[in-house]
Amino acid sequence: MSLLSVDEIKTLVEQPKGLSVSIYMPTYRGGAELQQNPIRFKNAIRKAEELLVENGLSDREALKFLQPAQEELDRGDFWEQQDNGLAIFIADGVLHYYRLPVNFDDLVVVTEHFHLKPLMRLLTGDGQFYILEIAQKQIRFLECTRFSAKEVELEDVPKNMDEALQYDETAKDGQHRIATSKGGTNNSFQQPGTFHGQGSPDKDNIKRDLLQFFYAVDRGLQKYLNGKKAPLVLSGVEYLFPIYRQANSYQHLVEEGITGNNKILTPEELHALALPIVEPIFLQSQQQAIEHYKELTSTGKTCTDVKEAVPAAYFGRVEELFVAVGVQQWGNFDPDTNTVYMHPEPEKGDRDLLDAAAIQTLLNGGTVYAVEPDKVPDEAPLAAVFRY
């Protein structure tokens, strides 16, 4: 299971210009259908050969262009190690492929740039969220999208309460101590002040220790959550939630959490439980963006004109962009003359202008909502909200 980052998208955008093949295909993860994976790939390669020839290569040159991808992907058990979909990007001396948790439609595109719009759902307006599993003996942190979950190996975050509070495990009388920070130490989990207690700790002491522990966790998570807006979902025993909320400084902690599980869950199991909690938040965010668009329709700060939206996205004017998946508008944009050329069918040197607008919006810090065509405002192939 893969997660894409904006940095990886930038790598694909910045690859050397020249003929570029983008292949999207659904894949099977098991069962008798596994044999369909290499068959789909061979069909996609044949289609890519045809398009490369249409773009000026000879049959022999087209075969040579695609040969590295065929050799790499047809070796070993590659086709048995799949997710829901596969994205493949091929250029001269360049090969990238991503097993992704998205059911792509079969698509082959050959232009001067990689075609990236089908990936937008994994990046923006995308349903990114986090899961924090809290327990006295274990802390786990997951980065998720609607489609996937990945556990993050945390640094500078205590793994458990004993580590955070530096318990004296040799004490036989129940005595415990919160270590005092001393000059020269780099242990961010230690806190000023010393606490001593006799006998078995009562509930107040346990709560105080948990709170101290969660303050340390919250501090350590700041470098992972600083500047983020994605929802954070807690998982664990319910009585721990209000204690963690008291220590929490992240503004997007969700009220509802994952409770009632006594066993260690896989990232996929946690993801399945968290998704119904965060999905209404994502739908609300997208609906708010639609309402924002509607409010601005008479102000000159919105547009559905591809010829206006593409240059605006290129020059960083687009704050929010709705773009239809599965729809292409062929043409090209000349930034030197600020001119957009549109064609009913792809011509040599063309690219999908909707794809170009989405990529530039994303790279310039805007938000992209890659949605089904009927979800784009005003029933247009794209709809943009301008910053100015």
Domain encompassing residue 302: 296-386
pLDDT at 185: 34
Q: What is the CATH number of the domain that holds 11?
A: 3.30.960
pLDDT at 339: 95
Distance in angstroms (rounded) separating the CA atoms of residues 60 and 370: 37
DSSP state of 251: T
CA-only gyration radius of the chain, Å: 26
In a domain? residue 121: no
β-strands 318-324, 367-371: how paired? Answer: parallel
Distances from the Cα of 351 to the Cα of 63, 238, 367, angstroms: 22, 52, 21
CA atoms within 13 A on the CB side of 388: 2
Beta bridge partners of 150: 143
pLDDT at 199: 41
pLDDT at 176: 39
Q: Rounded to 10 degrees, what is the CA torsion of 323, 326, 328, 334? A: 50
SS3 23: strand
Tens of pLDDT along the chain (388 residues) come to 455 667 788 888 887 778 999 999 999 887 888 889 999 999 999 999 999 999 999 999 999 999 999 999 988 889 988 888 999 999 999 999 999 878 889 999 999 889 998 888 776 555 789 999 999 888 999 998 877 788 999 998 988 888 777 644 433 344 434 433 333 333 333 343 334 444 444 667 888 999 999 999 999 999 999 888 889 999 999 999 999 999 999 999 999 999 976 678 999 899 999 999 998 888 888 889 999 999 999 999 999 999 999 999 999 999 999 999 889 999 999 999 999 999 999 888 899 999 999 999 988 989 899 888 999 999 999 999 999 9
In a domain? residue 197: yes
Beta-carbon count within 10 A of 29 CB = 13
pLDDT at 123: 66
Distance in angstroms (rounded) separating the CA atoms of residues 224 and 143: 10
Identify the CA nearest to 310 among candidates 285, 287, 334.
Answer: 334
274 lies in the same domain as 379: no
Q: What is the CATH number of the domain that holds 356?
A: 3.30.1330.30
Sign of the CA dihedral running 354, 357, 362, 363: positive
27 lies in the same domain as 66: yes
Q: What is the pTM for the complete model shown?
A: 0.64
β-strands 302-303, 382-386: how paired? Answer: antiparallel
In a domain? residue 120: no
**Cβ neighbours of residue 50 closer than 8 Å, sequence gap 6 or more:** none
Number of structural domains in the chain: 3
In a domain? residue 286: no
Ramachandran area for residue 331 (φ above 0: left; ψ -120 to 50: alpha; else beta): left
Chain length of the chain: 388
pLDDT at 178: 40
